[in-house]
Structure 1
Amino acid sequence: MPAPTHPRPHTETLANGLRVTLRHVPGLKRSAAALRVAAGSHDVPLAWPGLAHFLEHLLFLGTERFPAGEGLMAYVRGHGGQVNASTRERTTDFFFELPTQAFSAGLERLSDMLANPRMNLDDQLREREVLQAEFVAWSQDPAAQQQFALYEGLPAEHPLRGFHAGNRDSLRVEDPAFQQALNDFHQQFYQTGQMTLSLAGPQSLEELKALAEHFASMLPVGDKVAQVMPLPLAVKSYQQVGKQRGNLMFAFDTVPESSGEALAFLCHWLNSGKPGGLLAHLQQQNLADGLNAVPVYHFAGQALLHLEFTAPSESLTAIREHLRDWLSFFAQQDWAPLREEYAALLQRQQQVSGALQLARLDSEQLEHGLADSGVAALRQILGDIGTVDNFSEHWHLPAANPFLRASEPLANAGLIRGQTSAHRGLRTFAQDRSRGRRERSPMQFSQALTDSGDEGAIYLRWYMEAAATADLHSRLQRSLRQTQQDAREAGVELTFNASVTQWLLKLTGFQESMPSILEHALKNLTQVDANSPRSESETPLIPLRQLLKALPEHVLQSAKTGDDAKHLWTTSRWDGLALGLNQQTQSAMGLALSRIPGIPDNQLPATEAIAVQKHWSHIDTASSEHALLLCCPTANRDIADEAAWRLLAQLCQTPFYQRLRVELQLGYAVFSALRQIQGQTALLFGVQSPSAKPAELLEHIQQFLNGIPALIEQLDDVGLSQHRQKLADQFDDATLAGKEAAELLWQAKLAGHSSDYLEQLIVAIGLLDRKTLLSAAQRLINAEGGWLCLASDPVPQTPWQAAN
């Protein structure tokens, strides 16, 4: 885990005008780049809405130097990294993360695609159809339409009211005038004066600067261009009501430069659910169940603040009165303690962030906290909203986050529940098995990850006699909400998932806070009863994401359900795994572990594999879009089979995307990936389409699978060796982040592997030859591990069987 980062990265402007921010973090295992272009959807000519978004897509289609199969997206994915881009109102962002040894080549590809896009007509025509598919999905997505409707209270002429995504009608690529506008936009804005590059990694500042200078040398040089000023927002506030949703919008036309930090600070305290705050009071009055405040627009002195309430429409007038009362109270308070805590949590967030998060944070160029200039901006914003001197007496500031405070070292390490003196030290989760004796403690402390850093992970699993009903699951999630928020601010991600009879509580991040967070979480979960409130409804997901969310439930099927939380906890059996925890953290966990409900059991059964059949599950996605997700598990849990599946996943990723999205243009949501579900390794192939039905999508996927042996045969020995090495490098301790390593080791435990699983996996990847890979591909095609298909249509004819 990286050491605490300096609050401010190094910032300078290079000789050719490129602004750079450089962040050296010695403990990082990867490097990341975030490139921001000061131009977005509001900067395009009015005649061509969607042009900026369209250009962002075109830049990923390859160049003469790096064709699509060798471009940034394929390169990053081939090295197990992350890559994406985003077009907003006034900015366009490109960002990626890679193992450090592969980073410079990623920067080469990014600079080349920005400076030398191919942009031929055939590519443009194909990509326009992709944007058309996105537009169709967007126009039918209730959440997207609600977001678009938020701006209806603004003047019709303001660009926020316009359509900027692009579709077949607005992107008239055959028109010479459009081509001229496209090239003009690229030449005007995609040059050094309009760009900011943020780099974060373990390299020294000198090395990072050398990378930035080389990157800059590949770009067209230009001066900063003044972006056109927007028309006035011309309103102060307005409201919108919907089904169980209420929206309040506050518009500002002349806010100071520091208003971004001020609004972020205000939203943080608005969103707090602690006693004495706005949300807690609204819940007590049965006016609202949820609140989310977020700034949705900020440019050239203009800002737009959105407050969404989970509440019936008739409550919105009363909510608005309580909101103004709370804002008036907040405006009169001494913010010094809040500023101190806010700065502490931002520092903690940086401390546990990876390279990509840090690079993206730096590209925003925000202050890390609320400076004095931000205080002045916040006072102006509150004044513009209309706060008054009088307010109710029942308000008070939220209690301090208990998990942000450093804990005192324990005088005596002591013993953890279930341990004897023979268990005092750290032990791997396979040592007892290898010594031919049974483990006596169900919580296993593993040495598979180093305990010398700040980062750790805790997994607690319960095997239940019945699955939780939807109502019970909702109440369990609600019970954790405040603890999750406090934990996140303290650098720990806390998640709870009740997948059928397998319930999992997971903590990852800053280990010092974990014992206390674990204790609070267990208390929350075990105090749930029939009268506990349910969690508010979630934002609807696009169909393909709905299938992905439902997948674990269908891998672990169970007919029996239960709604009595106390009985389910009492009859449950549990085990766990802790990784990367130092001796002090282990010792501090004693009280929390003594409160784990259920029966300790170090012999929990392994998850049953999918039956060797073709099962089809129909998921009603409530959408006119079609979606299909094909899950292809390995036939067994041998590491050799897992290694083969991982290499197949790497080989398939780019060709699958190219075939189904680019060539066949089936839809914009197309992906293939390897996933592990309860220790089961599987290849996933997913497509969402506005036109092709699931049966047709499945046929295209099967045709692709049948062509995998040919893909393997086309690789020469050097190419195959390179793919093997790139895959093996992803599991090397030098490049594998702690959070990802912990998840791999947890899945290894569920699969029954030993704690040297990562070393064994690297060896198994190195042993993969062409013959072995072809054999694995044939097992995949033959569905020897069984296939599970989740789709938006009912089951077709044989050989598919409807899942129970």
Structure 2
Amino acid sequence: MNAPASVPDDETARRVGLPPGSRLHETRLASGLTIAAAEVPGARRQRLVAAVGVGYLDEPGDCRGLAHLLEHALFLGSANYPDSGELACWVGERGGRYNARTGETVTDVHLHLPPGDTDEGLTRLVDVLAQPSFNPERIGSEVEVLDAEFQARLADPALHRLVALGRLCREGHPARLCHAGNRKTLGVDRERLVMQLSTFHRQHYRAERMALVMLGPLPLEEQLERLTRHGAMLPAREPTPPVRHWRWSEPGGVAWHPPTAKAGTHSRTTTLELFWPLPEEQASTHADWLASVAARLADGRLAATLQAAIELEQLEVTLAPDGMGTALALRLTPAPDMEAVQAMLVACRSALERALAAPLPTPPSAPLDLDAWPRLRAAELVANQQDTPQPAGATTEPLLPWLAPEQCRLLWQSPTTPHRWATLAETGTAWRSQSPPGESLPLPWRAPPSLAVRPVYPSVDDPPPRPLHRDERFTLWAGDPARLPDAPPASLCLGWPAPASQQAARLAQWRQNTLPLRQVAASHGMRLSCAGDARGDWLIATGTAERLEALVELAVACWPERTAPAPTGPAEGLLAQRMLARLEALPPPGANAAGSRHVLGWASGCADERAAKALIRHLAERLTNMPTEADEPQHEVREGTTWLSPQGSDHAAMLELAGPDDTPRSRWLLQLLAQCHDAAFHHEMRQRRALGYVSAVRYREASGFPRLGYVIQSPGTGADTLRQAILDFLTRQGETLAQLSPAEMTRRRLGLLSHAGRPETHAEATDRLWQSLRRQTASGNASAPWQPLPWEAEEQALAALRCDDLLSLARDLAMGRLATRWWFHRPSGADA
């Protein structure tokens, strides 16, 4: 299909950004099914994705939410696997993961499995796609789940953004309406709903509308054979592709805000989106040219220009904006008032004119994400069922009118104002038409940061990791213990102590300060990551050795020593997700880095060691001269209760289990327990007790310390009932689920290694090595040799675990002998 026989499979893989040594082959079977196999030798697990070219814009107008309900119904039983939740249990037992997503025009289901389970995984995946059972009672219960999800999402600005975006669409077009789905839009007639689901499934879930994509370490030929064999089970019928009309009304703008927004909300909760809708066929034909245009818009110049006038925190440029179909879009934050919006619009229009005249010749490749790649590729394949190769010498002239200034649409998440706002009845979204601002004087253009090319004096050999310098102020390591095929030429990591208080605000300010710098780095094929945790702040920079010193030097200069508290805005995402995120931000037991000023560095690849030493010495001197800041006292996790401030209309409860230490053994044990409990906990709370939309057991880490969260989000069940439900599960089922036979333990180990074994990419290896070095230094073992590799130590710890170790952990949890903490959320106005 997209890989003609004359093009080698490895060359095809290289073109789409897969790691060196990979092979890719895509073809279309006689049934019309598109299959794609990607052999990535360094991958740990096999990714399986099935995509269908149907989404919520294809739903019947009298049953909004039907596509989303069908996605849920796929997991409620199928012809050969009739039990509800059977796929979830099977995947969980193998240490895998599964999920699904319904988009505008594509629905996908994806599994991550150990390579040895691929064949059965495909069998089960194809069965749920081809033969879902549609049990009326289960469908009725799932409607209640979707309604609970809808009610929960009413507190999420992302839902209101999509609803407001519909105001820019033509009357009568499906994109003008909300498709989240709830009890009212889906109805209560179960028999009728089952008939609609069956009809919708029969019309759209057909081989010629689908793609199966696989990525993993299995040989290419084996992957293709399995995809072909299992794909033959998908039904092939006469193609009746959905008719999709142009959605957009005349160019214009909409301002909006969530119903929970309050007057006086800080301006950083505001966002401006500018987008130019494009015809799909022409955009596909000229995809490379559009990527070059987008890369020019993100080369740092526009960001630097806007930052000089506005406290710009984010500037994202994308050709795949959420909810906008095919478009070139810019997303800018914050956009505090009309004057700022006008300045942004003028600058962006001018920048687009420049980009159209001089696109970036070689757009930088996106960071490799092996989890995301199969999903994105499957969506592309079902969206372009017919090959659309760009003709030789094809001109981009037909696209230029679509990118004219007057074709720009504007979507502004605005602060509340005294002006009159309309309200959408279904969601409560506040909105009003917003005409694009008139002409104004353009902002003076600012040059982006310059990455000076400097002479490099790298080591002539490739020595093993060694401490290049060590004293009371800083330690610098050099050498690379693991260099994967996709390794960049050089990398430099720096870390230093920083107060835990106001860390979120400090990191936000640092990322804001480095926005133009990170874009400039990307335009040169380099990467800069700025992050922090309870042990301090750090950066990781990778790319060409000649520019690496300049990149790191500028990034360190952008780090704010002091910052104001971060403003708060409307909470985003589901409440349960936000509660689980708390577990990743907690400090390690006894952590307090405020009194230390020791700086840590690591140079690898062909990085200039002399330059790295000079940089880290300068940073150490800067920290020495920095005034101390009183830090918040750190407390160890102990039994207790935390009540969260009201953040929505749902109740929620979470039991946090803290690991005793940050050793690989503790991390593996908690991950094993999560695997054993998750599917059963989900079924017990969501299916049997019908407590709420979200019920899950999730593993999290904070600075390497492991934690589990047993979380339930419910629209109407109080905290005491949710708490008791979690305790009942642990005492009645917790030990039984953790009683594994030796064969089951072996299978679980293989599953864990497929999920968190040896690194799949050099970026992952660098991050894991860096965090291991930071933990080693924080523990006071800075003088110890850097051996063994962290994943080797982790494999040894996993191999040493026995069945009784896991059972003992589950028993201690059920008996209340472990360090736990309860987190509760109660809506404002709810009874105490």
Q: Which bin holds the TM-score, normalised by the shorter protein?
A: 0.7 to 0.9
TM-superposed CA distance for 1:193, in Å, is 0.8
Letter paired with 2:576:
L
Once residues 427 and 304 of structure 1 are traced to their aligned partners in structure 2, the CA distance between those partners, rounded to angstroms, is 45
Once residues 386 and 637 of structure 1 are traced to their aligned partners in structure 2, the CA distance between those partners, rounded to angstroms, is 54
Corresponding residue for residue 91 of structure 1: 106
Matched, 1:55 2:70: yes
Letter paired with 1:55:
L
SS in 2 for 1:772: helix
Confirm or deny: 8 A CA contact 2:295 2:360 kept in the other structure: no
The counterpart of 1:382, out of the listed 386, 398, 403, is: 403
Once residues 504 and 520 of structure 2 are traced to their aligned partners in structure 1, the CA distance between those partners, rounded to angstroms, is 25
TM-superposed CA distance for 1:88, in Å, is 1.6
Corresponding residue for residue 784 of structure 2: none
Confirm or deny: 8 A CA contact 1:712 1:770 kept in the other structure: no
Matched, 1:540 2:566: no
Q: Deviations over 1:731-780 (max 9, x none)?
A: 543x7555555555555552759635533433433343333322222233
Q: Deviations over 1:299-325 (max 9, x none)?
A: 999868575552234326734761575
The counterpart of 1:41, out of the listed 32, 53, 56, is: 56
Q: Deviations over 1:93-123 (max 9, x none)?
A: 2233444443333322221211121221232
Corresponding residue for residue 776 of structure 1: 809
Q: Please say which of residues 538-547 and 112-121 is displaced more in the overlay.
A: 538-547
Matched, 1:505 2:541: no
User: Measured at CA, do residues 185 and 511 of structure 1 come closer, stay the same or move farther in structure 2, by a change above 3 Å?
Assistant: farther
Once residues 549 and 631 of structure 1 are traced to their aligned partners in structure 2, the CA distance between those partners, rounded to angstroms, is 12
Matched, 1:413 2:459: yes
Corresponding residue for residue 664 of structure 1: 689
TM-superposed CA distance for 1:37, in Å, is 0.9
Corresponding residue for residue 629 of structure 1: 654
Confirm or deny: 8 A CA contact 1:494 1:507 kept in the other structure: yes
Once residues 191 and 471 of structure 2 are traced to their aligned partners in structure 1, the CA distance between those partners, rounded to angstroms, is 75
The counterpart of 2:605, out of the listed 574, 578, 582, is: 582
The counterpart of 2:620, out of the listed 577, 597, 601, is: 597
Corresponding residue for residue 597 of structure 2: 573
Once residues 204 and 90 of structure 2 are traced to their aligned partners in structure 1, the CA distance between those partners, rounded to angstroms, is 26
The counterpart of 1:360, out of the listed 376, 381, 398, is: 376
Once residues 551 and 348 of structure 2 are traced to their aligned partners in structure 1, the CA distance between those partners, rounded to angstroms, is 33
Letter paired with 2:825:
S
TM-superposed CA distance for 1:17, in Å, is 1.0
Once residues 325 and 803 of structure 2 are traced to their aligned partners in structure 1, the CA distance between those partners, rounded to angstroms, is 60
Letter paired with 1:768:
L
Once residues 609 and 401 of structure 2 are traced to their aligned partners in structure 1, the CA distance between those partners, rounded to angstroms, is 48
Confirm or deny: 8 A CA contact 1:609 1:680 kept in the other structure: no
The counterpart of 2:678, out of the listed 653, 660, 680, is: 653
Letter paired with 2:370:
G
Confirm or deny: 8 A CA contact 2:315 2:332 kept in the other structure: yes
The equivalences for 1:39-188 within 5 A come to: 39-66=54-81, 71-172=86-187, 174-188=189-203
Matched, 1:521 2:555: yes
Once residues 410 and 90 of structure 1 are traced to their aligned partners in structure 2, the CA distance between those partners, rounded to angstroms, is 50
Matched, 1:427 2:465: yes
Once residues 298 and 553 of structure 1 are traced to their aligned partners in structure 2, the CA distance between those partners, rounded to angstroms, is 28
TM-superposed CA distance for 1:292, in Å, is 4.6
Once residues 153 and 375 of structure 1 are traced to their aligned partners in structure 2, the CA distance between those partners, rounded to angstroms, is 27
Once residues 445 and 596 of structure 2 are traced to their aligned partners in structure 1, the CA distance between those partners, rounded to angstroms, is 41
The counterpart of 1:284, out of the listed 308, 326, 333, is: 308
Confirm or deny: 8 A CA contact 2:276 2:329 kept in the other structure: yes
TM-superposed CA distance for 1:573, in Å, is 1.9
Once residues 461 and 324 of structure 1 are traced to their aligned partners in structure 2, the CA distance between those partners, rounded to angstroms, is 36
Once residues 158 and 709 of structure 1 are traced to their aligned partners in structure 2, the CA distance between those partners, rounded to angstroms, is 50
User: Measured at CA, do residues 371 and 548 of structure 1 come closer, stay the same or move farther in structure 2, by a change above 3 Å?
Assistant: farther
Corresponding residue for residue 421 of structure 1: none
Q: Please say which of residues 20-29 and 669-678 is displaced more in the overlay.
A: 20-29
Letter paired with 1:219:
L
Q: Deviations over 1:420-464 (max 9, x none)?
A: xxxx932379x99xxxx9999723457653466516876544334
Confirm or deny: 8 A CA contact 2:549 2:611 kept in the other structure: yes
TM-superposed CA distance for 1:621, in Å, is 4.8
Once residues 130 and 705 of structure 1 are traced to their aligned partners in structure 2, the CA distance between those partners, rounded to angstroms, is 23
SS in 2 for 1:197: strand
Once residues 724 and 373 of structure 1 are traced to their aligned partners in structure 2, the CA distance between those partners, rounded to angstroms, is 53
Once residues 454 and 622 of structure 1 are traced to their aligned partners in structure 2, the CA distance between those partners, rounded to angstroms, is 43
Letter paired with 1:521:
A
TM-superposed CA distance for 1:281, in Å, is 3.8
Corresponding residue for residue 678 of structure 1: 703
Letter paired with 2:819:
G
SS in 2 for 1:614: coil
Once residues 487 and 74 of structure 1 are traced to their aligned partners in structure 2, the CA distance between those partners, rounded to angstroms, is 44
Q: Please say which of residues 654-663 and 477-486 is displaced more in the overlay.
A: 477-486
Once residues 307 and 370 of structure 1 are traced to their aligned partners in structure 2, the CA distance between those partners, rounded to angstroms, is 32
Corresponding residue for residue 797 of structure 1: none
Confirm or deny: 8 A CA contact 1:611 1:785 kept in the other structure: no
The counterpart of 1:334, out of the listed 357, 369, 387, is: 357
Once residues 321 and 447 of structure 2 are traced to their aligned partners in structure 1, the CA distance between those partners, rounded to angstroms, is 27
The counterpart of 2:583, out of the listed 551, 555, 565, is: 551
Corresponding residue for residue 237 of structure 2: 222
Q: Deviations over 1:592-651 (max 9, x none)?
A: 4344336999xxxxx999647313233325322233333212234554444433321221
Once residues 71 and 597 of structure 1 are traced to their aligned partners in structure 2, the CA distance between those partners, rounded to angstroms, is 56
Root-mean-square deviation over aligned CA pairs: 4.7
Once residues 319 and 490 of structure 1 are traced to their aligned partners in structure 2, the CA distance between those partners, rounded to angstroms, is 28
Once residues 146 and 231 of structure 1 are traced to their aligned partners in structure 2, the CA distance between those partners, rounded to angstroms, is 20
Over the matched positions of the two proteins, sequence identity in percent amounts to: 22
Q: Please say which of residues 770-779 and 320-329 is displaced more in the overlay.
A: 320-329
Corresponding residue for residue 6 of structure 1: 14
Confirm or deny: 8 A CA contact 2:87 2:124 kept in the other structure: yes
Letter paired with 2:167:
E
Once residues 646 and 526 of structure 2 are traced to their aligned partners in structure 1, the CA distance between those partners, rounded to angstroms, is 32
Q: Please say which of residues 235-244 and 63-72 is displaced more in the overlay.
A: 63-72
TM-superposed CA distance for 1:179, in Å, is 1.9
Corresponding residue for residue 718 of structure 1: 743
Matched, 1:482 2:482: no
Letter paired with 1:671:
A
Once residues 729 and 328 of structure 1 are traced to their aligned partners in structure 2, the CA distance between those partners, rounded to angstroms, is 44
Once residues 500 and 311 of structure 2 are traced to their aligned partners in structure 1, the CA distance between those partners, rounded to angstroms, is 35
TM-superposed CA distance for 1:660, in Å, is 2.2
SS in 2 for 1:555: coil
Name the count of aligned residue pairs. 746
SS in 1 for 2:35: strand
TM-superposed CA distance for 1:39, in Å, is 1.1
User: Measured at CA, do residues 653 and 287 of structure 1 come closer, stay the same or move farther in structure 2, by a change above 3 Å?
Assistant: closer
Corresponding residue for residue 764 of structure 1: 797
SS in 1 for 2:496: strand
Q: Deviations over 1:510-541 (max 9, x none)?
A: 68686654333222216x667x9989979734
SS in 1 for 2:350: helix
